């Protein structure tokens, strides 16, 4: 019988697994604390579990443990990790330093991506497979060995809503009091705009939502993001208006500024109209230039004019600082560089 990775179970599924072995409910919380709060992967070290239970668990299950294959560190403290998976595939994770010794971890949800966004290196790999829940949470477990992580963003490789079941399972582990014990305010999921899955996500679990927008016309967004041909801007923005949120929360709209494509004041004007009726904020992200891309970053004056136009019309518009530019920090760059070398 193939052994099961305990990190693939949500808390409710782990409880069901243990109940099927005839174990008490409180054993579930004990096990979760050992795995996620203490980072223990050897069942024999779980001393408040009986020897009999440990033996039964070892017969049926195991706890996976990760170490990065490659780590790159930027002068600004950003660290990028490449993890090699059991099947030989690889994914990336980025730890981003914030103010006051805090940090945000950007994690992946798939190997490759099926969305084929024109500006994204990951899309050039194509879609290979979904990550399991264990592979999603192990990114956090591995990096947390270096120090605490204050926020988690699912903005790495892949489209999280294309792997919704495993992503929801991982979110439940992040939120569990005996698991990572993150508040839902500390976790953000980014999507390119899978409208039906956005609705399902809102019905299944609470999480901060970020939408990768990047254009103000269907013509330009069709070019940048092929998913727009299925769910055009009008349908996407309507789904954002209907997405369930607490009154104090906002949807984050990620807008990558690309020179002479989506960075004009006419674009800023259309963006204000698109935001009508939505509790949201704009993250302005100057394009991270990389080898092989035809796109370029706008000059500073253009970026500032775009942001000022939004701010003057009461739109919360934050220019996101680019970090890790001296390493392969943008999504897919480290994987692409290493595969090219090999």
Q: Binding site for S-adenosyl-L-methionine: which residues?
A: 158-159, 190, 212-214, 288
Cβ contact 284:252 at 8 Å: no
| Token pair recorded at residue 201 | 């996500």
Q: Which of 28, 72, 92, 254 is catalytic?
A: 92
For residue 246, the surrounding DSSP H or E stretch is none
Q: Is 331 a catalytic residue?
A: yes
End-to-end CA distance of the chain: 36
DSSP class of residue 116 equals: -
Q: Give the Å distances, CA to CA, from 329 to 76, 96, 116, 340.
A: 11, 10, 19, 16
Give me 153's structure tokens: 């963003």
297 is catalytic: no
Q: Tell how far CA 218 is from the center of its chain.
A: 25
Residue ranges of the annotated binding site are 113, 117, 120, 158-159, 190, 212-214, 288
3-state helix, strand, coil split of the chain in percent (to 5) is 40, 20, 40
Active-site entry in 28, 141, 240, 331:
331
DSSP symbol at 341: H
Which are the catalytic amino acids?
92, 331
């Amino acid at each position: 019988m193939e052994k099961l990775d305990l990190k693939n179970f949500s808390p409710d599924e782990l409880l069901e697994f243990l109940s099927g072995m005839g174990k008490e409910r409180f054993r579930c919380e004990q096990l979760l604390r050992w795995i996620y709060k203490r980072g223990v992967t050897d069942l024999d070290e779980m001393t408040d579990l009986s020897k009999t239970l440990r033996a039964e668990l070892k017969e049926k299950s195991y706890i996976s443990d990760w170490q990065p294959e490659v780590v790159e560190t930027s002068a600004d403290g950003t660290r990028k990790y490449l993890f090699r998976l059991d099947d030989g595939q690889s994914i990336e994770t980025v730890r981003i330093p914030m103010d006051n010794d805090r940090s945000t971890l950007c994690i992946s949800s798939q190997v490759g991506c099926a969305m084929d966004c024109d500006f994204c290196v990951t899309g050039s790999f194509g879609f290979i497979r979904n990550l399991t829940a264990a592979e999603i949470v192990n990114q956090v477990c591995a990096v947390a060995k270096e120090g605490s992580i204050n926020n988690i963003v699912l903005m790495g490789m892949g489209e999280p809503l294309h792997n919704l079941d495993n992503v929801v399972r991982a979110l439940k582990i992040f939120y569990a009091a005996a698991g990572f014990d993150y508040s839902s305010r500390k976790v953000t999921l980014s999507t390119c705009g899978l409208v039906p899955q956005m609705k399902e996500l809102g019905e299944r679990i609470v999480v901060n939502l970020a939408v990768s927008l990047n254009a103000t016309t269907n013509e330009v967004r069709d070019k940048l993001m092929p998913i727009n041909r299925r769910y055009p801007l009008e349908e996407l923005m309507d789904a954002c208006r209907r997405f369930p949120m607490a009154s104090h929360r906002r949807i984050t709209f990620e807008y990558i500024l690309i020179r002479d494509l989506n960075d004009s004041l006419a674009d800023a004007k259309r963006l204000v109209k698109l935001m009508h009726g939505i509790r949201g904020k704009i993250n302005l992200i100057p394009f991270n230039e990389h080898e092989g891309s035809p796109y370029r970053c706008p000059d500073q004056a253009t970026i500032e004019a775009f942001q000022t136009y939004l701010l003057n019309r009461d739109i919360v518009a934050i220019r996101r600082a680019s970090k890790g530019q001296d390493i392969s920090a943008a999504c897919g760059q480290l994987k692409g560089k290493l595969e090219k070398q090999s």
